[in-house]
Amino acid sequence: MDDQVLDTLCVRFGHAVTVSDDNNERIIETPDPDAGPHEGNNYLIGGSGASIDNQESCLYPVQALPIFKKIEDLSNKVQTIRMEHTLLCNEVKGISADCLLGSEAFTTLQNLSTEHELLKKKYNEECELLKRKYVEECSERKRVYNEVIELKGNIRVFCRCRPLKQDEIENGTTSVIDFNSSHDNELQIISSDCSRKQFKFDHIFRPEDNQEAVFLQTIPVVTSVLDGYNVCIFAYGQTGTGKTYTMEGMPENRGVNYRTLEELFKVCNDRSSIMR
C-alpha cells in the first residue's frame, strides 16, 4: 500500500515540478526597459499567464511542499524497511544454516547412540560369557583342589610341641623332644633310659611356631567346607599340653576356631559377587 501511494505522489511531484519550471521560465524573463508601463504590465501579466488559473499554477509548487516532505519521509522509511528486510533475510538464512547443522548433529547423535547400544549389548554378552567361563573354572578348581587334599590324606595328623613353662625351666626340667632329624615331619622322643623313639606326622610345629603358623596349615581344609565337603578339626592330648590354647587362643592371639570362622566369612564375601 505504501509503495502505491509513493508512486502516485512521485508522479504528481514530477508533474508539479514540470509546471513550476515552465512558469518560472516565463516569470524570470527580463522586460524591455524602453517599454511603457502598460506594456510592462502586459508583459508581466502575459509572462505570468495573464489569468488567475496561471497564477494558481505558479503557487502550486509552494502548496505541494508538505507533500514533497511526506514523500521524502516515506522514501526514507521505505529504504529503512528494505534494509531491515535484507537484515532479516540474512538472519533467516543464518538460522536455516544453524538448523541444518543442528539436524546433522542430531543425526550424528542418533548414530552414536545406536552404536553405543550395540557396543553395550556386545560387551554385556562378552561379560556373560566370561562369567560363565569363570564359574566353570571355579568349579574345576574346586574339584582339582579337593582331589589334591584327598591325595594328601583325608585324615591328617599334626603335632605341636609346646615350649617349657617358666616354672618347669626353674625346676631344671629339660625337653625330651629331639627335632634334629633328616625330615621336617619327623621327631624323636628321648626316654628315661636314654633310648630314642622316632615318630612321623603330616606336619610338626616346633615350640617357636605361633598361632598363625598353625592356622596356615589348616586353611586348605577349611576352604573345602564352602565347596560342600565335611571337615572336622580337633586337638587331643594330655592335660596341660596346650589343646585349649591351640583351638581357642587368647583375645589378643586367637586360635584355630576363631580364625577359621573369620576365614569362612571372608571367603563367602569374596564369592558373593559370582555365586548367586
pLDDT band at 13, cuts 50/70/90?
low
Is 80 assigned a ligand-binding role in the annotation? Answer: no
The span from the CA of 212 to the CA of 228, in Å, is: 25
pTM for this entry: 0.48
Q: Is residue 240 a known part of a binding site?
A: yes
Q: Is residue 131 part of an annotated ligand binding site?
A: no
Residue 187 bridge partners (DSSP): 199
Please say whether the beta carbons of 43 and 34 come within 8 A. Answer: no
| Residue 102 annotated as lining a ligand binding site | no
Q: Is 69 annotated as a binding residue?
A: no
Question: How many CA atoms within 13 Å lie on the side-chain side of 224?
Answer: 18
Domain boundaries, the chain: 2-99, 161-204, 210-276
> 224, 234, 231, 230: which is closest to 267 by C-alpha?
224
| pLDDT for position 12 | 58
For residue 14, say whether it is annotated as part of any ligand binding site: no
User: In this predicted model, what pLDDT tens digit does every residue of 115-174 receive, in sequence order?
Assistant: 888 888 888 998 988 888 888 887 788 788 777 777 777 788 999 999 888 888 888 888
